[in-house]
Copies of this chain bind each other. A is one copy, B any other.
């Protein structure tokens, strides 16, 4: 089947090709060597949080489940692999029947994470688990980066609503995932209609400078907008002169005017002036929306300003300086031999440099202090200590290839708010620092 009919600007028939070529060549070599069926455990984790962040946010888990479910090699894909001699005939035959039949556990979506947290664990034969590396990392690295930025922005905004409006600043489908991740991180709405369509996230938006410039005067533009969208619309007031525009806006829409939007200039100063002017005009209920290169710091700097909502674009969808997480997907254990009942042995890269990792299939738990506040991320590969048994973090996501943990997006959003609230207060400092929880390793 071909996606050309669908008008998508991409033409990729299955998630199976969101894969680096080496996964297929490793599969081929392992099939031939007889090692492809060795039971294997891969884990997703990061070695550090970016840029002095205090916590990370797991996002994309729901999308990973969709991708795993749809990871099949159909005719068109197999033809491509054959034609370009990417793998040999026995491997093609193996791929034609492939579906993932292993198990996946992971931090539930919206949960926070720290360096070394086993965010996701994929267990199955080497063959089936190695194939998922790229698509899982793509989704988690992208979505978690956006969610982390969103979470910081939502902290900075206090209770004020945040609008995601970054679609124009990122790839058109990354934008849809970014709106989803932003929602998990605490954003209220999105400007992106595709995100509304796909994930049912509430959409917002009224007008741009072009609408004002289309008309013979700002007054004509405001009349046109209010006439069509009602007086509770949001009028953009910074095309020419803000004070003049606010006066005209209230004159046309009345004191019931929904909101005004300021998209340039000194937002702190303008917000105060516009609030005063609106109040003086009797439009005490008219809200002020600000947009213009905002990030968590700019949002925080407006905390004392009379702002009712923030629209955030570029800095959100690019992870506020950290557009990707450094999550990796590493083989941490595998069957000791080719025997069907061979026990698992831990494995890890051992060479020099910062890229070493800790072998063994791991659990994780968040230890609380006497007040119920999180105090450590505990990761281990032996039995879970009894005191931590009800604080373990990984949940079952896929059992024998079947998805067992679908949930509405609001569940992830609520979980994130709760998880963040359970961290020490210093978690929500915007300044650079150490992760707010230390990661403690309990060796088996």
Query: Contact string, A21-58, partner B, CB cutoff 8 A, digits 1/0?
Result: 11111101111110100101010000000000000000
Q: Mark A183-227, 1 if CB is under 8 A from B, else 0.
A: 000000001111011100001111111110111100010011101
User: Which residue, of A15, A215, A223, A323, has the highest number of chain B Cβ atoms within 10 A?
Assistant: A323
Closest to A138 in B: B172
| A412 contacts partner chain B, Cβ-Cβ < 8 Å | no
Q: Is the CB of B169 within 8 A of A141?
A: yes
Stretch at the interface among A296-304, A343-351, A375-383, A431-439: A343-351
Whether, in the assembled complex, A17 has its beta carbon less than 8 Å from a beta carbon of chain B, the answer is yes
Q: Which stretch, A110-118, A174-182, A273-281, A387-395, touches the partner chain B?
A: A174-182
Instruction: Kindly report how many copies of this chain are found in the complex they form together.
Output: 2
A222 to B: closest C-beta gap in Å: 10
Q: Complex Cα distance A396/B194, Å? A: 29
Contacting pair A172 B67 (CB below 8 A): yes
Instruction: Name A18's closest neighbour in chain B (CB-CB).
Output: B172
Query: A175 — which chain B residues lie within 8 A by C-beta?
Result: 18, 138
Is the C-beta of A19 less than 8 angstroms from some C-beta in chain B? yes
**Contact residues in B for A5 (Cβ distance below 8 Å):** 1
Partner of A193, one of B10, B19, B177: B19
- A215: contacting residue among B33, B203, B348, B354, CB under 8 A: B33
Distance in angstroms between the alpha carbons of A21 and B18 in the assembled complex: 30
**Residue A260 lies at the interface, judged by CB distance under 8 Å to chain B:** no
Chain B residue nearest to A24 (CB atoms) is B193
Structural contact, A194 and B18, CB atoms closer than 8 A: yes
The interface residues of chain B lying within 8 Å CB-to-CB of A225 are 29
Residue of B nearest to A208 (CB): B22
B351 touches A264 (CB 8 A): yes
Given A80-B197, A172-B139, A214-B331, A264-B6 contact (CB < 8 Å): no
Q: Counting CB contacts under 8 A, is A255 at the interface?
A: no
The answer, yes or no, to whether A312 is at the interface (CB within 8 Å) is no
Q: Give the CA-CA distance A266 to B31 in the complex, in Å.
A: 34
What residues on B are CB-neighbors of A17 within 8 Å? 193-194, 197
Give Cα A224–Cα B29 distance, bound, in whole angstroms. 6
